[in-house]
Amino acid sequence: MSPHVILRVVSKVLIPFIVVFGFYVHFHGEYSPGGGFQAGVILASAVILYALIFGVDAARRAVPPAVVRVGFALGAMLYAGVGFATLLLGGDFLDYDVLHPDLSHHTGQHMGIILIEIGVLVTVTCVMIAIFYAFAGRTPEISEEDW
């Protein structure tokens, strides 16, 4: 039996809970501490835990670097897109009230905030994973024997 069996089993149990907690923090960010940034870091920590237990190559197969690059670009574009949509609808940049002018004030606010926070969530998650991949994939300049 491999010495890492317990770590692998426990991480397979923990990773889904980490992901669910990340989405909980995201969707309850309006009412409690949290939001897209905190949730993005939590979701990235699930991928990083997976990479630490199963290896960086396995993590790169599960979440390929190309998907990460597209993810942080799309997240930033969603954030900016909501701002430009509010400009095109006649409001100020990120003035959520113009998103649903015929409905109540709160409907446009909620829709705008959720879209912005999804953009932040995707961007932060992908940037954190990209930073981890960059550091984990580098080759050491000094060999272990030279230390």
Residue 49: band (very low, low, confident or very high) from pLDDT cuts 50, 70, 90:
very high
pLDDT at 109: 81
**Does residue 142 surpass a pLDDT of 80?**
no
**Does residue 67 surpass a pLDDT of 60?**
yes
Give the pLDDT confidence of 20-36 residue by residue, as tens digits: 999 999 988 767 777 88
Whole-number Å distance between alpha carbons of 117 and 35: 7
**Does residue 38 surpass a pLDDT of 60?**
yes
pTM of the predicted protein model: 0.86
Whole-number Å distance between alpha carbons of 73 and 68: 9
Q: Which two tokens stand for residue 26?
A: 């995201």
Whole-number Å distance between alpha carbons of 60 and 65: 6
Let me know: does 89 contact 73? Beta carbons within 8 Å.
Answer: no
Which amino acid appears at position 132 of this protein? Answer: F
pLDDT at 111: 84
Give the pLDDT confidence of 86-135 residue by residue, as tens digits: 999 888 888 888 887 676 666 778 888 888 999 999 999 999 999 999 99
What is the residue-wise DSSP string for 27-89? HTTTTSS--HHHHHHHHHHHHHHHHHHH-HHHHHHHS-HHHHHHHHHHHHHHHHHHHHHHHHT
Whole-number Å distance between alpha carbons of 134 and 35: 26
pLDDT at 147: 66
pLDDT at 42: 97
Q: How far is CA 83 from the centre of its chain?
A: 20
Whole-number Å distance between alpha carbons of 85 and 15: 36
Give the pLDDT confidence of 68-83 residue by residue, as tens digits: 999 999 999 999 999 9
